[in-house]
């Protein structure tokens, strides 16, 4: 398989199909429609939280986050060159922990021009320490056609496994819809949460119809959801739904939509990570619990 780094990282190449980790047997998994590969349904976002120098307590804490993430059977780590040091930090910590080949590494291209995009994507692969990245997404639809042309070619050549497009605000959904229909990428990443449900109107049904996997970003609305419920006790039915915290309810709400493949909450704190990952145990929220939660939050 040809890779973005040539022979420099040949020992870290990832096979097209990765066997499930043993720990995955007890977690919610979702299928990537374009390949039937399955992924644990809660991943790890790195925006802001991994943009730090690796030293002292910060390195110890972030290293534990990535180790605990892997040990729990989770795999999808989402990053971007837009996120400062996040790619480098992710790659360094994964390499030091010896888990680079186990992770599903998703990054993005965030620049204008075909040649500049190629340069940036090669740098991302180098930072992440992988010959072949799992997923490269066109970040916020910047120069989408040029980069999708490159990514489609790279996918055929074995330089990337999956292609994708992203945005983080509902106002961009018309553009996301247009590119989903025109190019049918393997993944679309969009904002979706218990209060930001615009994606339910067209994009999530469209993703299901076209066979496009969905990464749900901003699942906690940048923390605003926790502010909305801070004075409210956890509902009595939370235990019935298999949730022990508001965060678990919010994530199980997202996973309750069958078109969502993976929710990617960002955190650099081990206790928050443990709470997030607990949401992929058991089952997602059923329809009645989803609507009850939405009313509580509103």
pLDDT of residue 26: 77
Backbone angles phi, psi at 143, to 5 degrees: 50, 50
Beta strands in the chain (DSSP E): 29-31, 38-40, 44-45, 76-78, 104-109, 133-138, 160-166, 187-191, 213-217, 262-263
Torsion of CA 227, 230, 231, 232, to 10 degrees: 110
Token reading at 115: 């040649």
Element counts in the chain: helices (H) and strands (E): 10, 10
Write the DSSP symbol of residue 284.
P
pLDDT of residue 5: 58
Q: What is the pLDDT along the chain (298 residues), one digit of tens a residue?
A: 446 654 333 333 333 333 333 344 478 999 999 999 999 999 999 999 999 999 999 999 999 999 999 999 999 999 999 999 999 999 999 999 999 999 999 999 999 999 999 999 999 999 999 999 999 999 999 999 999 999 999 999 999 999 999 999 999 999 999 999 999 999 999 999 999 999 999 999 999 999 999 999 999 999 999 999 998 999 999 999 999 999 999 999 999 999 999 999 999 999 999 999 999 999 999 999 999 999 999 8
pLDDT of residue 10: 32
Domains and CATH numbers, the chain: 38-297 (3.20.20.100)
| Nearest-5° Cα angle at 259, 80 to 294 | 95
pLDDT of residue 6: 46
The H-or-E segment that residue 126 falls in is helix 114-128
Q: How far apart are CA 181 and CA 78, in angstroms?
A: 24
pLDDT of residue 12: 33
Give residues with Cβ within 8 angstroms of 65, minimum separation 6.
Answer: 44, 267, 268, 269, 270, 273
| Nearest-5° Cα angle at 30, 270 to 94 | 40
Nearest to 181 by CA among 200, 206, 156: 206
């Amino acid at each position: 398989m040809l890779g973005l780094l040539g022979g420099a990282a040949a020992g870290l190449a990832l096979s097209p199909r990765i066997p499930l980790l043993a720990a995955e047997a007890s977690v919610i998994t979702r299928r990537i429609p374009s390949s039937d590969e399955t992924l644990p349904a809660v991943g790890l976002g790195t925006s802001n939280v991994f943009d730090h120098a690796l030293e002292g307590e910060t390195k110890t804490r972030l290293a534990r986050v990535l180790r605990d993430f892997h040990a729990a059977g989770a795999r999808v780590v989402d990053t971007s060159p837009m996120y400062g040091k996040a790619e480098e930090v992710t790659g360094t910590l994964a390499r030091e922990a010896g888990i680079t080949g186990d992770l599903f590494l998703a990054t993005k291209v965030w620049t204008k021009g075909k040649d500049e995009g190629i340069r940036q994507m090669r740098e991302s692969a180098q930072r992440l320490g992988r010959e072949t990245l799992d997923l490269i997404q066109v970040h916020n639809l910047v120069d989408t056609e040029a980069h999708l042309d490159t990514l489609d070619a790279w996918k055929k050549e074995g330089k990337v496994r999956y292609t994708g497009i992203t945005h983080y605000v509902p106002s961009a959904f018309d553009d996301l819809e247009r590119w989903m229909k025109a190019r049918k990428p393997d993944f679309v990443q969009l904002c979706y949460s218990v209060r930001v449900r615009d994606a339910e109107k067209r994009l999530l049904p469209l993703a299901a119809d076209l066979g496009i996997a969905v990464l749900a970003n901003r699942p906690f609305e940048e923390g605003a959801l926790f502010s909305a419920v801070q004075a409210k006790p956890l509902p009595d039915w939370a235990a019935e739904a298999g949730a022990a915290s508001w965060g678990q309810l919010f994530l199980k709400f997202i996973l309750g939509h069958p078109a969502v493949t993976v929710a990617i909450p960002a955190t650099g704190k081990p206790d928050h990570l443990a709470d997030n990952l607990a949401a992929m145990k058991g089952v997602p929220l059923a329809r009645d619990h989803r609507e009850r939660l939405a009313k509580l939050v509103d």
